[in-house]
Amino acid sequence: DGAVIGLSEVCRLLSISSATGRNWVRLGKITPIKEKGGEPLFLRSHIEEVLKTLSDGKSKALNRRRNKKMVNKISLYETYISHEGNIDVVNGIIENYSGLINPLMIRSILANFALQLACQKKQIKTQGKNLIAKYMGGGLCVPGFTQLVDDLIGDKGVVTDEIDLELPVFEEQVKYIEDEDTLGFVYISLSNLGQRKTKGAYYTPLSIVKKSVSHLRDLTDIQNKTIFDPCCGSGNFLLDIGKYMSTPRTIYGQDIDPIAICLARISFAIKFDIADLDFLYSHFVCADTFDSWPVGPVDIIIGNPPWGGEIPRDQRKRLSARLKTAKKRSIETFSLFTEHALGLLSDKGVLAFVLPETILNVKSHREIRSILIEKCNFKFIHYLGEAFSDVQCPSIILGVEKSKRKVNGVPKILVDDDCYSISSNRQMSEERLNFRVKDSVQDCLDSIENAAGVTTLQDNAKFALGIVTGDNAAHISDICHPGYEPVLRGSDIRKFRLIQSEKYIKFTPAKFQQVAPTELYRAPEKLFYRFICNALVFAYDDRQMLSLNSCNILIPEIPEVQVKYVMAILNSRVASFYFMNMFNSVKVLRSHIEQLPIYIGSEKEQQEVINMVDKIISSKRDVSAMYDQLDEYIISLYRLTSKEQGLILDNLSSHNLFLP
């Protein structure tokens, strides 16, 4: 193919950022054939070859820089159910038949398992495990399921022509487990991982489904209530909540995935012995919830909306006319679904969604927080941590009641094994909903923020990332060759001072994938800090040293405030307490550092602090006592009460101080 494409199209095809695209050009990882107007042009055929290499997983170095939506593989979603036998069956299919897996084969495997489950539940005796071959040949009839299974199979003629129904894979058997969405587990495990992430589809593990349903039942009477999951997938939330209802006939589900909806109908029919096809097809609908919905207004909405799914440009334009969260340049699907779901609820209706924890605290989600505060009363928040396979994103279950009558506070917060409430005195702010901390901790955070003489590093500092070489094996050495110099990693950083680096690098910025301006590395004074860490760890450097990207750079520029003094504040227990309880992050981000309250000491106070810092830096012995003395002095600068000081010490008593 002689077609020529520009860099923006290359980045779209390879699912990389424009910055990564430019780096790949500079490093020779993708090769333009010419330039036009200063922009590189590429042969489409060359980029398709690169894409094939990436999709096959042959280039680990390049794949690390890609958007994970493009990963092309199948993976066992073993947290979705708990029955080990069924997990082993699907794992065996992935290990032994992954080369055969395609959309038509997935439909055929699902249909075979659907027939097995229906026969087990109805106690229909069958010969052998390969039921789809019998069904397609007219040798098996499961009353009430013909239309449902036919819809799942799709075009029978195509299946007959292209799928060998006598393959050993159809001899595999799953067992009917009352409480588990077995078909959904098979589907999500065999589906292309990249397609799932493009749709934002993260099917919810049974344990989280049960927690969501339990919280709902504690909050409200679900009997005779209209219940709707607007992105139901294969129906696991609805299957679970239905067993607690006198009749499941007030339950509705909708999804854009036609196979998932087929599975939801089949699973519902099996579990609740429903043969009424009109009910199944009118209550479980394949459609886009933003365009239509099977019922409304509803009393309860439950589910796990898509995270990071893609919204077509024309649909974004339509949605922006009625949804505030669609007006932003960067749209997040879970915010769209949350706002839209609130519009479908009746007054006093309840929403229970599984969402990323970032909805509560990240700046880009400020709009949806404003909507929640305006339209809802918060009823429960359950912090789940990292609850999904292959997803490094802490999650929550958010429960709110749509209401015109505002009631402050939150009756139930669950964090790990702790359960508490938040008082009505707590101010709700669209800037951040810090429900993770109890009222006493929040009061202390407020005292730190509001202390007299406090400022921040926002617009008062320079930041720089450590070096990203693009190939550490080629650039980093254990030996200090001629022209090489020490390069620091996060593990080389202790509070106040650096430890001797055992890695060396030749500083050749043009050869690195990502590098900050040289003058920042060579600044007369700067601070290094650990990037991956659940605490604040800053070290002083006046030797113009280099660092890798696990060790980033801060150059404070608060007028009339010395660098060592700022370092002492950042290394204090006050700052760590604030960081841990405000951000709960294992990464120290620039945005976090910029928000830390920095007390501006007088010249005398600064000098007192710096004298103690110099003793710690120069000491050859244990510095714990010196640190405690310095820290006690810094806490006194914030004018905190003895109760607040005790709270900070108790809160951090078991944490690593990262002292030299």
Q: What is the pLDDT of residue 78?
A: 74
Instruction: Dump pLDDT digits (tens) for 154-190.
Output: 999 999 999 999 999 999 999 999 989 999 999 998 8
Q: How far is CA 238 from CA 229, 244, 304, in A?
A: 7, 10, 12
Q: Please state, for a pLDDT cut of 70, what percent of the chain lies above it.
A: 94
- For residue 507, give the H/E element and its range: none
Instruction: Dump pLDDT digits (tens) for 566-619.
Output: 999 999 999 999 999 999 888 999 999 999 999 999 999 999 999 999 999 999
- What is the separation of C-alpha 290 from the centre of its chain, rounded to a whole number of angstroms? 23
Q: Which domain holds residue 637?
A: 456-652
Q: Is 274 domain-assigned? A: no
| Mean pLDDT of all residues in 486-495 | 96
Instruction: Dump pLDDT digits (tens) for 288-302.
Output: 999 999 998 999 999
Q: Is 36 domain-assigned? A: yes
Question: pLDDT confidence of 66, banded at 50, 70, 90?
Answer: very low
Q: Which residue in the block uniquely carries the two structure tokens 């997803």?
A: 391
Q: Residue 335: is its pLDDT beyond 90?
A: yes
Q: What is the pLDDT of residue 56?
A: 62
- Residue 215: phi and psi, rounded to 5, are -60, -40
Q: Is 629 domain-assigned? A: yes
Q: What is the pLDDT of residue 62?
A: 53
> 453 and 478 in contact (C-beta within 8 Å)?
no
Q: Residue 83: is its pLDDT beyond 80?
A: yes
Report how many domains make up the chain.
Answer: 2
How would you classify the pairing of strands 526-530 and 504-505? unpaired
Instruction: Dump pLDDT digits (tens) for 371-398.
Output: 999 999 999 999 998 887 666 688 999 9
d(CA 518, CA 340): 48
| Mean pLDDT of all residues in 457-462 | 97
Q: Residue 444: is its pLDDT beyond 60?
A: yes
CATH assignment at residue 587: 3.90.220.10
Q: What is the pLDDT of residue 391?
A: 67
| Mean pLDDT of all residues in 122-136 | 95
* DSSP-derived secondary structure for 290-327: TT--SS-SEEEEEE---SS----HHHHHHHTTT-GGGS
- How many residues comprise the chain? 660
Q: Is 317 domain-assigned? A: no
Instruction: Dump pLDDT digits (tens) for 609-655.
Output: 999 999 999 999 999 999 999 999 999 999 999 999 999 999 999 99
- Residue 652: phi and psi, rounded to 5, are -105, 5
Q: What is the pLDDT of residue 309?
A: 74
- For residue 460, give the H/E element and its range: none
**SS3 string of 362-395?**
CHHHHHHHHHHHHHEEEEEEEEEECCCCCCCCCE
CA nearest to 529, candidates 559, 502, 500, 550: 550
Q: Is 84 domain-assigned? A: no
- Residue 14: phi and psi, rounded to 5, are -90, -5
CA nearest to 110, candidates 38, 37, 43, 185: 185
Distance separating the N- and C-terminal Cα atoms of the chain? 60
Q: Is 125 domain-assigned? A: no
d(CA 317, CA 327): 8
Specify the pTM. 0.82
Q: Is 640 domain-assigned? A: yes
Q: Residue 71: is its pLDDT beyond 90?
A: no
For the four alpha carbons of 571, 576, 582 and 586, in that order, the dihedral sign comes to positive
Q: What is the pLDDT of residue 140?
A: 94
Strand partners, 464: 553
Question: pLDDT confidence of 345, banded at 50, 70, 90?
Answer: very high
| Mean pLDDT of all residues in 341-352 | 97
Question: pLDDT confidence of 331, banded at 50, 70, 90?
Answer: confident
Q: Residue 307: is its pLDDT beyond 80?
A: yes
Strand order in the sheet with 538-541: 461-464, 551-556, 526-530, 538-541
Of the three residues 34, 68, 102, the one that is the final residue of a domain is 68
Q: What is the pLDDT of residue 59?
A: 55
Q: Which two tokens stand for residue 66?
A: 């890609």
Of the three residues 13, 42, 68, the one that is the final residue of a domain is 68
> 429 and 361 in contact (C-beta within 8 Å)?
no
Question: pLDDT confidence of 105, banded at 50, 70, 90?
Answer: very high
Q: Which two tokens stand for residue 438?
A: 């109890």
d(CA 71, CA 194): 5
| Mean pLDDT of all residues in 316-338 | 90
Of the three residues 47, 68, 89, the one that is the final residue of a domain is 68
CATH assignment at residue 63: 1.10.1660
Q: Which residue in the block uniquely carries the two structure tokens 């459609």?
A: 287
Q: Residue 198: is its pLDDT beyond 50?
A: no
Q: Please state, for a pLDDT cut of 90, what percent of the chain lies above it.
A: 75
Q: Residue 2: is its pLDDT beyond 70?
A: no
Pick the range with the lowest mean pLDDT from 49-63, 125-139, 240-254, 464-478. 49-63
Q: What is the pLDDT of residue 44?
A: 85
- Residue 186: phi and psi, rounded to 5, are -60, -45
Strand partners, 5: 42
3-state DSSP assignment of residue 151: helix
Q: Residue 196: is its pLDDT beyond 50?
A: no
Q: Is 313 domain-assigned? A: no
